[in-house]
């Protein structure tokens, strides 16, 4: 099978690897589509991920697979099912690892329900919680967005965000706009966004009440003018130095300031000398599986749509993976859609 190998920082190649074999509680999937991530993926490619990684490794973590073979103890998945976040395991030999491993023609998913029912220890099935079943008829290309939507909705829910609250979202990438969608779907009273002026129209189309150009000389004043009295919640989706100070300053007393992005993770600071109010702080914290059904329900109701994020009509072939990341890096789109299997 073909797979994308990050040989070393900055170097992507396509390699031929053996097709993995499913275990007794696992299924083999052909991977159909995946999407690039401008956060994790680019940090790994640039060797700026906050935690050390080993190379070479198979990249990718937003792939959708179709079941083609089931293990003998699998009971909750069947041939033809669509499954989320399918990844390939490290190939034999120990020379190539995985950085999630979603860019491969075949991958493995686990049957969590069967493992739980048979009494297996949590460490045997927790890694497979990301492998969730999609409804029959789901478009696998559009479904690549499910991973981003689950991460962001789980994070927002764990923050305690609720209907009637106001929110400031700092950033204008795919994750930031996902937070916009979720906040709107959860009944936000007001949504304000700080981002690139080139993406203001996307924010307006998704229902942002006010969009602030991050180039403004006096951002605190612009934020205060966009929502009187302070926000119930503010999220730094980018993770850049200084943005958490903006987030904390923007919230009302006892509001929530959340860090989601990782751009300057290891050197981030918060100037407590300028804070004269109680507040809650949360870090990027989510469990995709806990909101899977809610994300699917929003999709089926038309409240989450992939088109603002992906060009569904013009996917990149996996052989052009470098071009897909160049497209993402050049900010020509929020994400790049990649067709993994040609068959």
Using the predicted structure, report yes or no on whether residue 343 has a pLDDT greater than 80: no
Give the percent of the chain with pLDDT over 90.
89
CA gap 58, 10 in Å, rounded: 13
Reported as type and span, the H/E element at residue 101 is none
CB 31 within 8 A of CB 107: yes
pLDDT band, residue 45 (cuts 50/70/90):
very high
CB 171 within 8 A of CB 239: no
| Residues β-bridged to residue 33 | 64, 339
Structural domains of the chain sorted by starting position, each given as residue range(s) with its CATH number in brackets? 2-141+310-339 (3.90.180.10), 148-283 (3.40.50.720)
Question: At a CB cut-off of 8 Å and minimum separation 6, what does 76 contact?
Answer: 111, 112, 113, 114, 133
Nearest-CA neighbor of 60 among 81, 23, 78, 35? 35
The two most distant CA atoms of the chain are separated, in Å, by: 63
Give me the helix-helix angle, 145-158 and 174-185, nearest 10°.
60
Using the predicted structure, report yes or no on whether residue 288 has a pLDDT greater than 70: yes
Nearest-CA neighbor of 86 among 31, 6, 146? 31
Q: Side-chain half-sphere of 134: how many Cα atoms within 13 Å?
A: 29
pTM of the entire predicted model: 0.96
pLDDT in tens, 73-109: 999 999 999 999 999 999 999 999 999 999 999 999 9
DSSP-derived secondary structure for 207-262: T-SEEEETT-S-HHHHHHHHSTT-EEEEEESS--TTHHHHHHHHEEEEEEEEE---
pLDDT in tens, 209-265: 999 999 999 999 999 999 989 999 999 999 888 899 999 999 999 999 999 988 888
């Amino acid at each position: 099978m073909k797979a994308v190998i990050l040989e070393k920082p900055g170097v992507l190649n396509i390699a031929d690897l053996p097709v993995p074999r499913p275990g007794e509680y696992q299924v083999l999937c052909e991977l159909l589509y995946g999407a690039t991530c401008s956060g994790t993926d680019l940090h790994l490619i640039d060797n700026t991920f906050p935690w050390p990684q080993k190379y070479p490794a198979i990249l990718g973590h937003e792939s959708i697979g179709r079941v083609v073979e089931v293990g003998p103890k699998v009971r909750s998945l069947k041939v033809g099912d669509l499954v989320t976040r399918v990844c390939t395991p490290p190939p034999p030999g120990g020379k190539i690892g995985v950085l999630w491993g979603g860019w491969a023609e075949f991958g493995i998913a686990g049957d969590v329900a069967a493992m739980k029912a048979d009494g297996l220890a949590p460490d045997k099935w927790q890694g497979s919680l990301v492998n969730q079943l999609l409804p029959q008829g789901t478009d696998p290309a559009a479904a690549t967005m499910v991973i981003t939507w689950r991460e962001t909705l789980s994070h927002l829910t764990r923050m305690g965000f609720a209907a009637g609250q106001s929110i400031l979202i700092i950033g204008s990438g795919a994750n930031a706009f996902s937070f916009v969608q979720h906040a709107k779907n959860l009944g936000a009273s007001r949504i304000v966004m700080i981002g690139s002026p080139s993406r203001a129209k996307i924010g307006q189309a998704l229902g942002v009440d006010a969009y602030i150009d991050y180039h403004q000389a006096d951002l605190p004043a612009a934020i205060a003018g966009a929502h009187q009295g302070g926000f119930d919640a503010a999220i730094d989706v980018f993770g850049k130095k200084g943005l958490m100070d903006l987030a904390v300053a923007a919230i009302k007393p006892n509001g929530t300031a959340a860090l989601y992005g990782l751009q300057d993770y290891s050197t981030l600071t918060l100037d407590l000398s300028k804070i004269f109010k109680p507040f809650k702080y949360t870090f990027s914290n989510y469990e995709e599986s806990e909101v899977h059904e809610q994300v699917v329900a929003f999709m089926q109701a038309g409240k989450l749509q992939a088109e603002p994020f992906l060009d569904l009509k013009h996917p990149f072939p996996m052989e052009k993976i470098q071009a897909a990341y160049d497209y993402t890096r050049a900010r020509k789109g929020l994400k790049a859609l990649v067709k993994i299997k040609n068959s």
